[in-house]
Amino acid sequence: MIRLLICDDHRVLTDALALIVGSDPDIQLVADPVQDPDDAIEICRTNPPDVVLMDLVLNARLDGIEATRIIKDQHPDTNVVIMTGQQDERSLVAAVEAGACGFLNKTTALEEVIDTVKQAADGEVLIDPGMLSRVLATLAREREARRDVERILAHLTDREREILQHLASGKRNEAIGSDLFISPQTVQTHVRNILRKLQVHSKLEAVALAVKLGEISA
């Protein structure tokens, strides 16, 4: 018996899905379909399903991607299928990175839902070749962009990294200079060099980039 949970805020769709899956003797709903990802997370905590059909965009505190990430962190054996009408690569990549095992297009015939749920329960990857190609291409571009930035970060001096860490603490040039026993003007010179090397336009952008890549701690 495959244990299933549906999370989507379109009542007509969820009613149809529940009716379809309810007709299959191999699938059991662990709860009525929910509209809020927080409810889905709580159900997964108390009564873990084998498969979750998760909407990508919900009118709630969390979106489907963040909810997927939380569910997979807490219950690695639960397989999450993202239901979406969107096809943009960034959303697809984010869902994959969150731990989704595949996608179900909302325009897909309801009859295919049963097969999707069963494949997900078996641990299959559910993504059509065209979509997979776009996701892999996006991941490759992002990986190369990350490598480019890492190469840039490698050019920072120890003092510049130190100043970046102070900037991440919200300190102004005067306070940084006092901590490092250098003048505010010297700090400003280092900051200008950091912005130039990182190819960014502000202190905030420099700090955000360095934190994102693990160069400094937030």
pLDDT score of 118 more than 90: yes
DSSP states of 87-102 = --HHHHHHHHHHT--E
* Band of pLDDT at residue 176, cut at 50, 70 and 90: very high
What does pLDDT average to over the chain?
A: 86
DSSP states of 177-209 = HHHHTS-HHHHHHHHHHHHHHHT-SSHHHHHHH
Helix axes 158-168, 184-198, angle to 10 degrees: 100
pLDDT score at 12: 86
Query: What pLDDT, in 10s, does the model give residues 22-74?
Result: 889 999 999 999 999 999 999 999 999 999 999 988 878 898 999 999 999 99
Say what percent of the chain tops pLDDT 90: 42
Which of 3.40.50.150, 3.50.50.60, 1.10.10.10, 3.100.10.10 is the CATH number of 155-212? 1.10.10.10
| Cα–Cα distance for residue pair 97/169, rounded to 1 Å | 29
Q: Name the CATH topology of 2-135.
A: Rossmann fold (3.40.50)
**170: which residues sit within 8 A by CB, 6+ positions away?**
none
Query: What pLDDT, in 10s, does the model give residues 193-210?
Result: 998 888 888 888 888 877
List 104's β-bridge partners, or say none.
83
Where in the chain is CATH 1.10.10.10? Answer: 155-212
Where in the chain is CATH 3.40.50.2300? Answer: 2-135
pLDDT score at 27: 94
pLDDT score of 170 more than 80: yes
Locus of tokens 């897909």: 108
Query: What pLDDT, in 10s, does the model give residues 69-95?
Result: 999 999 999 999 998 876 677 788 888
